Structure 1
Amino acid sequence: VSLFLKAIPMSMGNTCSLDASIDAAEVVVTRIETDTGLVGIGECGTVAGYPASARSVIEGSADLAAAHLMDMDPTLIGAVNERLLGVPGQIGALRTGIDMACWDILGKAEGKPLHALLGGKLQETVPIYCLIVGESPDELASSLQEWRRKGFKRFHFRVVRADIATHQARINRILSMR
């Protein structure tokens, strides 16, 4: 088990409800290599992508995870998750990445895509939502227009620290653009 940080640039920045702004989200990438040489990759987010949160997840966790996963079959995903439930420390935050890496290994071992392992495709395409940013109704509308020009059709936005009238104005402005 190895872990490393990956910074994901946020081209428009990210303003969360706590008024903190970040230019890049840091995620923890999980890499698990089996004794047969198969490699699974997973990823877990951290608290709003804040670097300090990501670094605290990594410190010491790779060795701890490896110690608990040694001699386990990563294709037995339920057993892996069950084992990790009782592990103290930051392993809880890493379980998502470990779970993804195990599914990746299972897919490679079986020669099947993930959707086949989970019961098959339900649809041919998956809609993607775009996060639009802006504190004022006009900033939010401008962001929506910009991303529409790039081909996005579905959007969501975050609540920012403001009074209820500002929230309502932001919502109404976006609804008027449907």
Structure 2
Amino acid sequence: MKITKLTTYIVPPRWCFLKVETDEGITGWGEPVIEGKALSVEAAVHELSDYLIGKDPLLIEDHWQVMYRAGFYRGGGIHMSAIAGIDQALWDIKGKAANLPVHALLGGKCRDKIKVYSWIGGDRPSDVAQNAKDVMARGFEAIKLNGCEEMQIVDTNAKVDAAVETIATIRDAVGYDLGIGVDFHGRVQKPMAKVLAKELEQFRLMFIEEPVLSENKEALRDIANHIATPIALGERLYSRWDFKSVLQDGYVDILQPDLSHAAGITECRKIATMAEAYDVALAPHCPLGPIALAACLQVDAVSHNAFIQEQSLGIHYNKSNDILDYLVNKDVFKYEDGMVAIPDGPGLGVEIDEEYVIERAKEGHRWRNPVWRHADGSVAEW
């Protein structure tokens, strides 16, 4: 079997899909994307395709090593996201060729389903509380939300009080059975992160996410020694080498590699195993499309330390299209009792509606995150 063609599709709301074709008619799909830089990742995919055309798609590990090492300069969001989407598609082909799900090729699943959480949002604490109630009514047992808006390196008590009020309102509305992940989104720097983390500890959170930016990970020591709340981090790390020092430092409790950013199934399987050796949990990042989610679930299936999966069904970003729109088998992600079933179909287990993908690619997107500024005019982390 030989790879004959790689085709990319920029599709709404903010995704990039990849189709890899072979001379035996077996095709694989991947999702190579960095939110806000989809076209840059798309270009990197086509640069890597120069090597892949004519190669055996089943030699996944060797292709991964060549794509990573043979270009001399390596790593970073664009390069590793391009590798990620190609890697997903190659695993999809391998599974289809063997008529087995990817998780069977990775040693077999150790779970049939995994807990999922739903994103919620709102302009006021009362909105967020109602959204939490609605999510629970749909059967979810865990949520995640942004913990604050823009925050300067040292900010006001009013900003802290607003964050506390939001979480307090949710707890008052739904009690303590609902798992709550609070995402600081890298918006907070060390001085205020310590304050916020301590103030929110009373609400017994499932985790706090990115309390500081990954590049400021040395600050995690002070935060971790300050609170008992689990700390999650990893969506902006792209390889096992990025995660290595985080694990060695010992201040992160939950790793969140993104299967479309951190070099795909091949790499994230290794990251998950590294985390297990450090007694660290796995919760893959995935506010993306259906192919990315399917890839995450394949790794969740074989990772004993995976405990929850992010998913984007109904997320606020998905205004023009949602994850099920691009699928033929729209029942593949079976949500029940706050969990989602692990897909058991060949490859990634998702059947892409290619005609619809082609149609939506005619519109495409140039999604960008907003540019925020503080009251003094300086740029703020979004």
Structure 1-normalised TM-score? Answer: 0.77
Aligned residue for 1:147?
135
Matched residues in 2 for 1:173 and 1:91: separation?
A: 42
Post-superposition offset of 1:65: 2.2
Matched residues in 1 for 2:170 and 2:109: separation?
A: 32
Q: Deviations over 1:107-147 (max 9, x none)?
A: 01111112211222222222221101124321211111222
Task: Please state whether the residue corresponding to 2:94 is helix, strand or coil.
Answer: helix
Aligned residue for 1:13?
none
Aligned residue for 2:59?
76
**1:108 partner amino acid:** K
| Equivalent in 145, 166, 169 of residue 165 of structure 2 | 169
Matched residues in 1 for 2:115 and 2:95: separation?
A: 23
| Equivalent in 32, 36, 39 of residue 55 of structure 1 | 39
Aligned residue for 1:117?
105
Aligned residue for 2:9?
4
Aligned residue for 1:160?
148
Matched residues in 1 for 2:133 and 2:51: separation?
A: 49
Post-superposition offset of 1:153: 2.2
Q: Does 1:64 align with 2:69?
A: no
Q: Deviations over 1:24-59 (max 9, x none)?
A: 3x1111111122221000113423xx3xx212322x
- State how 1:97-136 maps to structure 2 within 5 Å: 97-136=85-124
- State how 1:33-44 maps to structure 2 within 5 Å: 33-44=21-32
Matched residues in 2 for 1:175 and 1:80: separation?
A: 48
CA RMSD of aligned residues (A): 2.1
2:125 and 2:166 in contact (8 A); partners too: yes
Task: Please state whether the residue corresponding to 1:157 is helix, strand or coil.
Answer: strand
Query: Once the two structures are aligned, what percentage of the paired residues are identical?
Result: 27
Post-superposition offset of 1:102: 0.9
**1:153 partner amino acid:** E
User: Cα gap change, 1:150/1:123 in structure 2, threshold over 3 Å: closer, same or farther?
Assistant: same
Matched residues in 1 for 2:82 and 2:171: separation?
A: 38
Matched residues in 1 for 2:170 and 2:46: separation?
A: 47
Matched residues in 2 for 1:164 and 1:35: separation?
A: 59
Post-superposition offset of 1:63: 3.1
Matched residues in 2 for 1:173 and 1:118: separation?
A: 43
Task: Please state whether the residue corresponding to 1:36 is helix, strand or coil.
Answer: coil
Matched residues in 1 for 2:83 and 2:45: separation?
A: 11
Q: Does 1:138 align with 2:126?
A: yes
Matched residues in 1 for 2:45 and 2:21: separation?
A: 12
Which structure's residues are more often strand, by fraction? Answer: 1
**2:142 partner amino acid:** R
**2:86 partner amino acid:** I
Post-superposition offset of 1:62: 4.3
Structure 2-normalised TM-score? Answer: 0.38
1:61 and 1:91 in contact (8 A); partners too: yes
Matched residues in 1 for 2:171 and 2:83: separation?
A: 38
- State how 1:11-26 maps to structure 2 within 5 Å: 24=13, 26=14
Post-superposition offset of 1:158: 1.9
**1:77 partner amino acid:** I
- State how 1:23-34 maps to structure 2 within 5 Å: 24=13, 26-34=14-22
Aligned residue for 1:94?
82
Task: Please state whether the residue corresponding to 2:61 is helix, strand or coil.
Answer: helix
Task: Please state whether the residue corresponding to 1:57 is helix, strand or coil.
Answer: helix
Matched residues in 2 for 1:72 and 1:63: separation?
A: 15
Matched residues in 1 for 2:45 and 2:112: separation?
A: 37
